[in-house]
Amino acid sequence: MAEKYPVSLQKDEKVIKVMRRHPARLVLDIVLTFIIEVLVLVALFWLRDTVSVLGLLWNILIGIALIGGLIFIGIEFYRYRNDVWLLTNQRIVDSTRTSPFNQTVSSADLVNVQDMNFHKRGVLATLFNFGDVICQTASQTQHFAFRGVSHPEDVLHLVDTHRDLARHRMYNPESNEPAAS
């Protein structure tokens, strides 16, 4: 089954690459949530044993904390699955869906991409080889950030290559041959 994209493709547009955050980012967010959840539960259990008044209330708070942690993990997984970047032969697309009721989609023509850079911050980003690719554009949305993508240097090179091809097609519309890379 073909993947459903967050935007309709234009005439003669082909998807080159679909990108999501590196799975290690998801795992790190879940581990952080788990650590916070354990600290909250330890504090609630300690308070429950210290303050014996309203024991049922403490049990309800502990239940709410457990359910809240599970909901937060579910939200992180939902965001991971629905934060998508597309590189096509004509444009870059950033689609973010933070909930089923909230979606933001931005796109910019590849020929408008001016400057690009990538950042790997920290030991884990270096170890798992993920980072951010920032594309500055001449369009109304001034930059696109591919956050936490695998192999950011390869993504930068891929965007750069296809930007050059798009510019070649724009300035040489009669040529069917791609620019030499």
pLDDT digits (tens, 9 = 90+) for 39-70: 988 887 777 767 666 667 777 888 888 898 89
Q: What is the pLDDT of residues 102-120, one digit of tens each?
A: 888 888 888 888 889 999 9
Report the 10 Å Cβ neighbour count for 137: 21
- Cα separation of 149 and 19, whole Å? 7
Statement to judge: residues 72 and 113 lie in one domain: no
> Is 4 inside a domain boundary?
no
Mean of the per-residue pLDDT values of the chain: 84
Look at strands 102-109 and 113-119 and give their pairing.
unpaired
Statement to judge: residues 102 and 120 lie in one domain: yes
> Is 63 inside a domain boundary?
yes
> Is 180 inside a domain boundary?
no
Q: What is the pLDDT of residues 122-140, one digit of tens each?
A: 898 899 999 999 988 876 6
Nearest partner of 6 among 107, 110, 105, judged by Cα? 105
For a pLDDT cut of 70, what percent of the chain falls above it?
Answer: 89
Statement to judge: residues 73 and 88 lie in one domain: no
Give the tokens for residue 20.
Answer: 């999501």
> Is 124 inside a domain boundary?
yes
pLDDT of 155 above 50: yes
pLDDT of 1 above 50: no
Residue bearing tokens 């999501």? 20
Statement to judge: residues 43 and 101 lie in one domain: no
70 lies in which domain range? 27-78
For residues 84 and 48, the answer to whether their CB atoms sit within 8 Å is no
Statement to judge: residues 73 and 103 lie in one domain: no
Q: Among 69-83, 133-147, 154-168, which is the least confidently predicted range?
A: 133-147
Taking the model in full, what pTM does it have? Answer: 0.74
Statement to judge: residues 65 and 108 lie in one domain: no
> Is 111 inside a domain boundary?
yes
Q: Apex CA 147: angle with CA 146 and CA 151, to 5°? A: 80
CATH number for the domain that contains residue 156: 2.30.29
pLDDT of 153 above 90: yes
Domain count, the chain: 2
Which carries the bigger pLDDT value, residue 21 or residue 8? Answer: 21
